[in-house]
Amino acid sequence: MISCRICETYIAPFMSFGKMPIANGFLTPDTYDSEYFFELAVGYCSNCQMVQLIEQPDRTKMFHDQYAYYSSISKRMREHFQKMVADIFARYPVSDNPFIVEIGSNDGILLQNIAQKNMHHLGVEPSKNVAQVAQDKGIQTINEFFDRHVAQNIASKHGQADIIFAANVMCHIPDIHSVVSGIKYLLKPKGIFVFEDPYLPDIIDKISYDQIYDEHVFYFSLTSLSHIFNLYDLEIIHVIPQDVHGGSMRYVVAQKNAYRLSEALVHQKQIEDQKKLNHASTFEQLRQNINGSKLQLMALLNDLQKQTKRVIGYGATSKSTTVINYCGINSHHIEFISDTTPIKQGKFTPGGHIPVRPYQAFSNNYPDYALLFAWNHKAEIMANEDAFSNSGGKWIVYVPSIQIF
Ligand SMILES: [Zn+2]
């Protein structure tokens, strides 16, 4: 039992995935002995409905100087953020000389679209090496964890913000009260806070349990988010469902009563109400579905192993860590995982210790099967890899169900 990070109600886990390493903790054999594990379990709050991790590792173990995720590597993500900025500016025109802030600005993938317009901007990024990449590109960035104190410093130096962005960041921050309080302080009376995160109903519908890992402390719904924003006199005014990351939601938040609520928001609220996110049975069903997905995937991988088929993994994603360790996938099931991220290549996956090799290890010697850990980019990847399919290679996908293409 822990107390809810939002409202302090006691919550119990509805599901444990067992001992789990840090999702981004790619390592070399000399550090296997000191590899860090914690219990990955999730629960939901019967009062505010926030689904959250029971235990979370120390943030310094997750976001450190070796943090391996650089957003700009993915072309699809670069295009996504370019379009996100264009859409927001079209719907919410800003005043002359606006000030734009981004929380968790990574390597500047989103803010570069603002910097190109010569707009006053500031990124707040806790990972030093990632922040440095943004600074080198000429994107104004401070190396901090965003909280109320940092928000006050920004406001006193730069003034209040017209738009605050946060993409795949809010769900990472355990002390969300300090962040929301900081947003409240930093936002102009007609300012907007735009953020995107995985959406709980998508995880339930798609059984995409690989969204559950150490960095994602919260699994948001409209209901649970409305509860915390309400505590700070903020409200969600608009939502736009997104298909990046396999199902996420873009939320637009403003000072209470500053804007009319959109029809899309009202519609999404109706959809969500039918999902029964306040019922224990919903989460018991999810637990059973996740277990069923694991049994099916392992039956397939064990069968392919018996047939001595060559299977490799495609994309050493953070998400894959939950699947590999929860299902018990090892280097007997998959020979290696190919990944284009140089910092991961030559290392081994957290917990499962499966080798990570460059993309050419896949493309120079096609396997019989490729287990698609980057399933959220399925369409883009399959289109680019028709030579693999033409060679007789098959894809294994496990979300929303175990399928072979
Ligand atoms: Zn709560």
Q: Tell me, in angstroms, the distance from the centre of ligand 1 to residue 73's CA.
A: 36
* Same domain flag for 96 and 203: yes
Residue 49's nearest CA partner among 219, 216, 202 is: 219
Q: Which residues contact 257 (CB under 8 A, 6 or more apart)?
A: 235
Burial class (CB in 10 A: 0-12, 13-18, 19+), 32: exposed
* Same domain flag for 264 and 316: no
Q: Residue 177 corresponds to which tokens in the numbers above?
A: 């009260």
Q: What is the pLDDT of residue 71?
A: 64
Q: Tell me, in angstroms, the distance from the centre of ligand 1 to residue 49's CA.
A: 6
* Same domain flag for 335 and 248: no
Contact yes or no for 210/323 (Cβ under 8 A) = yes
Q: Tell me, in angstroms, the distance from the centre of ligand 1 to residue 182's CA.
A: 20
CB hemisphere CA count around 308 (13 angstroms)? 0
In a domain, 30, yes or no: no
Q: Tell me, in angstroms, the distance from the centre of ligand 1 to residue 186's CA.
A: 25
Q: Tell me, in angstroms, the distance from the centre of ligand 1 to residue 7's CA.
A: 4
Angle (nearest 5°) at CA 272 between 1 and 248: 80
Q: Tell me, in angstroms, the distance from the centre of ligand 1 to residue 227's CA.
A: 9
Tens digit of pLDDT per residue, the chain (405 long)? 789 999 999 998 999 999 999 998 999 999 999 999 999 999 999 999 999 999 988 766 665 555 556 666 677 888 999 999 999 999 998 888 999 999 999 999 999 999 999 999 999 998 888 899 999 999 999 999 999 999 999 999 999 999 999 999 999 999 999 999 999 999 999 999 999 999 999 999 999 999 999 999 999 999 999 999 999 999 999 999 997 767 899 999 999 999 999 999 999 999 999 999 989 999 999 999 999 999 999 999 999 999 999 999 999 999 999 999 999 999 999 999 999 988 899 999 999 999 999 999 999 999 999 999 999 889 889 999 999 999 999 999 999 999 999
* Same domain flag for 115 and 243: yes
CATH number at residue 361: 3.40.50.720
Range of the structural domain that residue 346 is part of:
281-404
Q: Tell me, in angstroms, the distance from the centre of ligand 1 to residue 253's CA.
A: 20
* Same domain flag for 311 and 237: no
* Same domain flag for 79 and 180: yes
* Same domain flag for 303 and 214: no
Q: Tell me, in angstroms, the distance from the centre of ligand 1 to residue 213's CA.
A: 20
* Same domain flag for 347 and 247: no
* Same domain flag for 103 and 194: yes
In a domain, 151, yes or no: yes
Q: Tell me, in angstroms, the distance from the centre of ligand 1 to residue 400's CA.
A: 28
Q: Residue 356 corresponds to which tokens in the numbers above?
A: 């990570």
Q: Tell me, in angstroms, the distance from the centre of ligand 1 to residue 5's CA.
A: 7
* Same domain flag for 290 and 357: yes
Spell out the SS3 assignment of the chain.
CEECCCCCCEECEEEEEEEEECCCCCECHHHHHHCCEEEEEEEECCCCCCEEECCCCCHHHHCCCCCCCCHHHCHHHHHHHHHHHHHHHHHCCCCCCCEEEEECCCCCCCCHHHHCCCCEEEEECCCHHHHHHHHHCCCCEECCCCCHHHHHHHHHHHCCEEEEEEECCHHHCCCHHHHHHHHHHHEEEEEEEEEEEEEHHHHHHHCCHHHCCCCCCEEECHHHHHHHHHHCCEEEEEEEEECHHHCEEEEEEEECCCCCCCHHHHHHHHHHHCCCCCCHHHHHHHHHHHHHHHHHHHHHHHHHHHCCCCEEEECCCHHHHHHHHHHCCCCCCCCCEECCCCCCCCCECCCCCCEEECHHHHHCCCCCEEEECCHHHHHHHHHHCHHHHHCCCEEEECCCCCEEC
Q: What is the pLDDT of residue 245?
A: 67
Q: What is the pLDDT of residue 74?
A: 74
Q: How far is CA 297 from CA 154, 163, 288, 339, 355, in A?
A: 48, 43, 14, 21, 20
In a domain, 8, yes or no: no
Q: Tell me, in angstroms, the distance from the centre of ligand 1 to residue 50's CA.
A: 6
In a domain, 54, yes or no: no
Q: Tell me, in angstroms, the distance from the centre of ligand 1 to residue 80's CA.
A: 32
* Same domain flag for 342 and 273: no
In a domain, 26, yes or no: no
Q: Tell me, in angstroms, the distance from the centre of ligand 1 to residue 222's CA.
A: 14
Q: Tell me, in angstroms, the distance from the centre of ligand 1 to residue 44's CA.
A: 8
Q: Tell me, in angstroms, the distance from the centre of ligand 1 to residue 336's CA.
A: 41
CATH number at residue 122: 3.40.50.150
In a domain, 308, yes or no: yes
Q: What is the pLDDT of residue 62?
A: 66
Q: Tell me, in angstroms, the distance from the centre of ligand 1 to residue 135's CA.
A: 38
Q: What is the pLDDT of residue 183?
A: 98
In the listed set 235, 262, 278, which residue is the last one of a domain according to the structure?
278
In a domain, 296, yes or no: yes
In the listed set 249, 278, 307, which residue is the last one of a domain according to the structure?
278
Q: Tell me, in angstroms, the distance from the centre of ligand 1 to residue 184's CA.
A: 20
In a domain, 145, yes or no: yes
Contact yes or no for 182/147 (Cβ under 8 A) = yes
* Same domain flag for 216 and 234: yes
Task: Please give the tally of structural domains in the chain.
Answer: 2
In the listed set 278, 298, 316, which residue is the last one of a domain according to the structure?
278
